[in-house]
Amino acid sequence: MNILLLGSGGREHAMAWKLKQSPLCDTLYIAPGNAGTANCGQNVSLSITDFPSIRQFCLDNDIHLIIVGPEEPLVKGVVDYFKSNPVPLSADAARELKLEAMPVIGPDAFGAQLEGSKAFAKAFMERHAIPTAAYREFNADNFEEGVEYIRQHSLPIVLKADGLAAGKGVLILNDHEEAIREFTSMIRESKFGDASKTVVVEAFLSGIELSVFVLTDGKNYVLLPEAKDYKRIGEGDTGLNTGGMGAVSPVPFADAGFMQKVVDRVVKPTVNGLQEEQIDYKGFVFVGLIKVGEDPYVIEYNCRMGDPETEVVMPRLKNDLVELMLATARQELGRQSVEQDARFACTVMAVSGGYPGDYEKGKKINGLEQEINSETLLFHAGTSEQNGDVLTSGGRVLCVTSYGNSVKDAVNASKKVLAGISFEGMYFRTDIGYEFS
């Protein structure tokens, strides 16, 4: 079968690497992809939010399945678009795939609000008694009440722009007056544009974070390997937040007892809640959790896989990813069970100098041709190819994932490979997995 994967980051390179291993996958297209995905399939220059052009591409190239990497097309309704404008499958393909039309893996726009609207996600959790920080939601209409609520609230206090704000919409504040200033700027001065017209104000939870990945067909689910990512730019988790500087899987503190609590208190109520509310959700639910004492609380939902978590989850997933995607589309995930590689997989992300602030692009990347042993994988993120050279084209440039019998072994193996790669301004954290080493 022919598959189209939407996206261009390290997540998509890891997914493309995994999809390509499936005997079910004939031609893999990635739109728009990066210099790394070009080694797994064919990159196509399409905008991931230009749904009519994507549909035309599917018709012209006999595509049987679309997998959506990032949240933006989902929140903007790519699944809804293809529901209203289905791409028919040939009689043979329909019989073989046991599907009527080309499926798009991901939730519809309504379900994608789990990520696209923090207020929607919090209300969903409240309806289904899923543990999360206590909160209230405010906008221009109840602004004064919000100010009063903040004034009385314990510190630190967390302010969240309701909508998508490129990972920047969460503020954690230690001072009431500053919190009120930020709250005002979010609602009255559109600090995060329309995204902060509504603000969720919530209690600060103190603990250690992890990412849990659920693949659901709206009725059944499977759990993929969990991971922990390292969001801060600086060693020892200091400095500004980034998209993610590295990840480890499995997460040593997520033992069987804790994961059972996650399943019972979070995963099952989430999937049952989607079904009860008749939300058409056939895709990934990324649950951002925090372990407070021995108990899991939900910090956020995302309607997609994590990046760079996918770069450690895919290497540890033993199942055929295409089979899992088809089972999702057919609502047959109940028949699947996930097998995980027992080893650790750790990834270290190399970024452009200046990131997550301003940075330059177009730097030549050296050392990509080095021999890499079979325990290590190199995934591209912000890269592009030009006249045979691979150039940087984003803040997060590439990451190196290694397997190991310990976090330390895996991280060291990745750092060894990174030592042979260079581009002007290149930076990476040397302490990924430090708590477990």
299 binds, among ligand AMP, ligand GLY, none (CB under 5 to 8 A by kind): ligand AMP
Query: Toward ligand AMP, which CB reaches closer, 171 or 271?
Result: 171
- Cβ of residue 310: shortest distance to ligand GLY, in angstroms? 8
Which of the choices ligand AMP, ligand GLY, none does residue 170 contact, using the CB cut-off of 5 to 8 A by kind?
ligand AMP
Q: Interface with ligand GLY by CB under 6 A: which range of 104-112, 300-308, 312-320, 406-414?
A: 300-308
User: CB under 5 to 8 A by kind: which of ligand GLY, ligand AMP, none does 158 bind?
Assistant: ligand AMP
Q: CB–CB of 405/344 below 8 Å?
A: yes
Please identify which residue in the block is written with the tokens 């330390």.
408
Segment 158-177, which members bind ligand AMP (CB under 6 A)?
Answer: 158, 170, 172
DSSP state, 263? I
195-201-202-206 Cα dihedral, nearest 10 degrees: 70
Query: Do 172 and 147 meet the contact criterion of CB atoms below 8 Å apart?
Result: no
Residue at 102: amino acid letter: M
Least spacing, CB of residue 294 vs ligand GLY, in Å: 24
Pick one of 80, 137, 229, 320: the residue that binds ligand GLY (CB under 6 A). Answer: 229
Smallest gap, in angstroms, from Cβ of residue 223 to ligand GLY? 17
Binding of ligand GLY by 302 (CB under 6 A): yes
Distances (CA, A) of 32 to 37, 43, 106, 360, 362: 9, 6, 18, 21, 17
When the beta carbons of 391 and 407 are compared against ligand GLY, the nearer one is 407
DSSP string covering 88-144: BPPHHHHHHHT-SB--EEEE-TTTTHHHH-HHHHHHHHHHTT--B--EEEE-GGGHH
User: Site for ligand AMP (CB under 6 A): which residue of 74, 105, 205, 399?
Assistant: 205
CA distance 122 to 364: 44
Map the footprint of ligand GLY across residues 107-126, applying CB under 6 A: none
**Binding residues among 237-266 for ligand GLY as defined by CB under 6 A:** 244
Q: What is the spatial distance between Cα 296 and Cα 274, in angstroms, rounded to a whole number? A: 20
- Single out the segment in contact with ligand AMP by CB under 6 A; choices: 186-194, 198-206, 376-384, 412-420: 198-206
Interaction partner, residue 309 (ligand AMP, ligand GLY, none; CB < 5-8 Å by kind): ligand GLY
Residue 307 contacts ligand GLY per CB under 6 A: yes
Q: Are strands 104-107 and 65-68 parallel, antiparallel or unpaired?
A: parallel
How many Å apart are CA 138 and CA 399, to the nearest integer? 39
Is residue 414 a contact point for ligand GLY (CB under 6 A)?
no
Per the CB < 8 A criterion, the answer to whether 384 and 391 are in contact is yes
Give whichever of 87 and 245 is closer to ligand AMP, judged by the CB atom.
245
| Minimum gap (Å) between residue 122 Cβ and ligand AMP | 10
Name the amino acid, one letter, at 223. Answer: L
Q: What pairs with residue 107 in β-bridges?
A: 281
Give the one entry of ligand GLY, ligand AMP, none that residue 133 binds, where binding means its C-beta sits below a cut-off of 5 to 8 angstroms depending on kind.
ligand AMP
- 23 preceded by a cis bond (ω within 30 of 0): no
Nearer to ligand AMP, 375 or 434 (CB): 434
The structure tokens 């995980």 sit at 340
Per-residue binding string, ligand AMP, 268-307, x by CB under 6 A, is: --------------------x----------xx-------
300-326 as b/e: b if 16+ CB within 10 A:
bbbbbbbbbbbbbbbbbbebbbbebbb
Q: Does 204 bind ligand AMP (CB under 6 A)?
A: yes
Nearer to ligand AMP, 125 or 421 (CB): 125
Query: By Cβ distance, which residue is nearest to ligand AMP?
Result: 300
- Decide whether 93 or 203 has the Cβ nearer to ligand AMP: 203
CB of residue 287 to ligand GLY, shortest distance in Å: 11
For position 247 contacting ligand AMP by CB under 6 A, the verdict is: no
Cis upstream peptide for 156 (omega within 30°): yes
> Are the CB atoms for 63 and 87 separated by under 8 Å?
yes
Tokens, residue 269: 């109520």
What does the binding site for ligand AMP look like in residue numbers (CB under 6 A)? Answer: 133, 158, 170, 172, 202, 204-205, 209, 231, 288, 299-300
What does the binding site for ligand GLY look like in residue numbers (CB under 6 A)? Answer: 229, 244, 302, 306-307, 309
